[in-house]
Amino acid sequence: MKLVIAEKPSVAQTIAAVLGISNTKSGYIEGNEYLVSWCFGHLIGLAPPNFYDAKYADKQWKFEDLPIMPSQWKFVVNQATKSQYELLKSLMFRNDVTEIICATDAGREGECIFRYVYNLANCHKPVKRLWTSSLEAVAIKQGFAELKDDSCYDNLFAAGLARAKADWLVGMNGSRLFSIRYKTNISIGRVQTPTLAMIVDRNYKVTNFIKEKYYQIGLNCGNGLIVGSERIDDESMANNLLTLCNGKPAVVTDVKKEIKTTNPPKLYDLTTLQREANRQFGYTAQQTLDYTQALYEAKLVTYPRTDSQYITDDMEQTAINMVQVVRQCFPTFISSDVNFVPNVQRCINNAKVSDHHAIIPTAEIQKINLAELPTCQRNILALVSAKLLLATGEPHKYEAVKIVVTCQNHDFHANGKTIIDIGFKAFEKQIMSQLKGKNADKDNEKNNDKALPEVNIGESYPMVSSFKVERYTAPPKQYTEDTLLSAMEIAGNSDYDEDSEIEKKGLGTPATRAGIIENLIKKEYIKRDGKKLLPTEKGKSLIAVVPEEVKSPKMTADWETTLQNIEKESASDIDFIDSINNFVLQLIQKYGTVDTASGFDFSREAVGKCPKCGKKVMEFPKSYSCESGKNGCGFVIWKNMCGKSITSTQATKLLSKGKSDLIKGLKNKAGKEFDAYLVLKSDYSIGFDFPKTKKAYSKRR
């Protein structure tokens, strides 16, 4: 008898169906010489400090109890799922079980989930590894035909365990150290704190940005040619140039033409999918991961937690077939008059695929009614399917033209382009409009240079007219989940080489970044304001006092590279943990005293004045409430109303003006959408005011 252990019940059921067994027992499925059972994610984790010494349970943390560095690491069973662990342990030790098959998710975390259970149970039976990037029947059958000894994945487990230990060491010691130092509860994380530092830094640059006016002088040469000067900061110099050139002759002094190519986009890895889903649909990184995981478990897409944007050469025919399946399932993506011959070779790069290939749809999509999928899942499936078509398109080729016109010894220029081969852009705009994302058209309009008139060097214009344009420097933009994920991916790695041996540095991994963002929100260090991710006062205060060593993105990115190297057996997990221990010791030696001069402020953020009692209305995880608390006046604005998140900006306007801006997409109990303003009623409750339009009235009814 062979015992198969999956990561979730749904995956176990899929595997059992492929193995042709359906005899369901309590917590497992049996038949055909197989037992198939499951975990519920992490059944076991690293034990907290109080498991090593009772003194660590003391709520009054002390400097003298640091550092906490286990010589022998302990593990603890999650009490909520303890019964499933006990069941797995009993199945492992059944006399008729001769082999165990690890079928948890094929990645670093999946390997840890299984081995924690196996090791804590002290089981020594032989283990094979099921490694598959799809839950399609054909992929599972192939995986069972190609089982390897689980020892082949020892380095993967070593990297996963080293990551868990490093997070524990930095988190447990760092949180205690700085909580004692600043006499308030502080949460420090190996990846969490550098990520927060990036958000705080960006917010500072935005809020302290001072816009600067500058000028450009343009010349209308006639015949459709308009050229412009470089940026001019001094208005008097701009006015002088304006006067100098107006009505004067000009001549073409240079024409540069260069053939350029825009390659089709790559396939999705998890991070690029999360970024685009945020950009197009406003989904959070965690939502996109959840929706894609659901599609994976429904066998509609391949494994989501991948960091590769390529497929391997043995998948060439599969990809060719899938292009045709996608065209059948999404017939409006490419018009019948477009000559589209997919080039799958563009998506193949064996060297860029480590554990899992890029996310692509599976042939199962042709067996379902796509309209019956939940909207969010259907949107993600459409993105993944569309990307396969775009990635297999031909390059977009154009001639870039730069014209230089000289007038009164000053150069003016114009840039344009002429399309030579439209390539994948013949259907890109149509596909993006089909996805119905709010920013689809905006993304496609970027860099849309127009063709310039044909001119030659020496061509002259007897009298040009000049004009002045005033412009302002633009501030950087606050992070969204799209741009933050991008920044996290290359943090500490600005010189990232596309052809380097290591795929990417960065903060966290594709599988963990969404959780990091959600944890920062849960701990009230950052908040969402529409798509923006903004630091709270609490978050800004934290970053203001913690030292550079704790918040350095580069250091954390270097650690992540080491973890990748541990997977590749080119670095030692023992040496890595030793370096983390030394890092923690240095922190304690340097910052192991109370700091009373920092002015550390851990107060909540006020969004306005309470209309009921006049005190401050503070931001809490689920509401904007009066600081007087439950026993006070009781004024509250709930953060989630009719399915929409109420931002702090809207709450502030409601409190100051008595009415918010128009909020679109609210939902009534029947699930129908409507638009309305939030208004402050005379009894201090929150009501709706509907726009005076027939459309709004019909929605209201």
Check: CB of residue 320 under 8 Å from CB of residue 344.
Answer: yes
Residue 605 has pLDDT above 80, yes or no: no
| pLDDT over threshold 80, residue 21 | yes
Average of per-residue pLDDT values in the chain: 90
Q: Residue 171: is its pLDDT beyond 90?
A: yes
Please name which of 66, 69, 187, 65 lies closest in space to residue 550, comparing C-alpha atoms. Answer: 187
pLDDT at residue 106, as a whole number: 87
DSSP string for 84-115: HHHHHHHHHT-TT--EEEEES-SSHHHHHHHH
At residue 601 the predicted structure's pLDDT band, cuts being 50, 70 and 90, is low
**Res. 696: pLDDT tops 60:** no
Residue 495 in this model has a pLDDT that exceeds 60: no
Average pLDDT over residues 75-89: 95
pLDDT band at 23 (very low <50, low <70, confident <90, very high): very high
pLDDT for position 665: 81
217 Cβ contact partners less than 8 Å away, ≥ 6 residues apart: 228, 229, 232, 238, 241, 242, 245, 412, 466, 467, 468, 469
What pLDDT is attached to residue 584? 96
Angstrom distance (rounded) from CA 178 to CA 64? 13
Rounded Cα distance, 135 and 401, in Å: 50
CB 624 within 8 A of CB 607: yes
- Report pLDDT for 436: 66
Token pair of 177, please?
A: 């150290």
- The contacts found for 243-246 with CB under 8 angstroms, 24 or more apart, are 243/466, 244/408, 244/410, 245/217, 245/219, 245/407, 245/408, 245/410, 245/464, 245/466, 246/464, 246/465, 246/466
Quick: pLDDT tens for 370-382: 999 999 999 999 9
Confidence check: pLDDT of 499 > 50? no
Q: Is residue 441 predicted with pLDDT exceeding 50?
A: no
Name the catalytic one among 116, 303, 310, 398.
303
Query: How many alpha carbons lie under 13 Å from residue 609 in its C-beta half-sphere?
Result: 6
User: Helices 553-567 and 154-182 sit at what angle, rounded to 10 degrees?
Assistant: 160
Flag whether pLDDT at 80 surpasses 50.
Answer: yes
Q: What is the mean pLDDT of residues 629-634?
A: 78
Structure tokens, 83 = 């019964």
The pLDDT of residue 496 is above 50: no
- For the segment 293-299, the average pLDDT, to the nearest whole number, is 94
Average pLDDT for residues 688-694, to the nearest whole number? 77
Q: What is the pLDDT of residue 602?
A: 61
Residue pair 293/301 in contact (Cβ under 8 Å)? The answer is no
pLDDT above 70 covers what percent of the chain? 93
- pLDDT score for 465: 97
Whether 698 shows a pLDDT value over 50: the answer reads: no
Is residue 149 within 8 Å of 37, Cβ to Cβ?
A: no
Under 8 Å between Cβ of 650 and 661: yes
The pLDDT confidence band at residue 504, using thresholds 50, 70 and 90, is low
Task: Name the more confident of 300 and 621.
Answer: 300
Domains of the chain are 162-207+478-591 (1.10.460.10), 213-263+397-472 (2.70.20.10), 270-394 (1.10.290.10), 606-700 (no CATH)
* Average pLDDT of the residues in 144-170: 95
**pLDDT tier, 598 (very low <50, low <70, confident <90, very high otherwise):** low
264 pLDDT more than 90:
yes
Q: 600: pLDDT confidence band, cut at 50, 70 and 90? A: low
Give me the mean pLDDT over the 5-9 stretch.
94
Tell me which of 35-39, 153-157, 638-642 is least confident. Answer: 638-642
- 309 pLDDT band (50/70/90 cuts)? very high
pLDDT value of residue 599: 60
Per-residue pLDDT, 444: 45
Which pLDDT score is estimated for 497? 47
Tell me the pLDDT tens digit for each residue of 606-622.
889 999 888 889 887 77
Angle at 63 between CA 62 and CA 68, to 5 degrees: 90
**What pLDDT score does 501 carry?**
41
Residue among 618, 642, 616 at smallest CA distance from 524: 618
Q: Is 214 tagged catalytic? A: no
Distances from the Cα of 622 to the Cα of 141, 662, 664, 667, angstroms:
47, 21, 20, 19
- Work out the average pLDDT over 86-90: 97
Per residue in 383-419, pLDDT (tens digit) is 999 999 999 999 999 999 999 999 999 999 999 999 9
347 class by beta-carbon count within 10 Å (0-12 exposed, 13-18 middle, 19+ buried): buried
Residue 206, pLDDT score: 95
Q: What is the pLDDT of residue 671?
A: 77
Q: In the structure, what pLDDT confidence band is assigned to residue 502 with cuts at 50, 70 and 90? A: very low
Q: Render pLDDT for 325-381 as a digit per residue (tens, 0 to 9).
A: 999 999 999 988 888 899 999 999 988 887 789 999 999 999 999 999 999 999 999
Instruction: Report yes or no: 300 and 360 within 8 Å, Cβ to Cβ.
Output: no
The pTM assigned to this predicted structure is 0.81
**Rounded Cα–Cα distance for residues 517 and 531 (Å):** 13
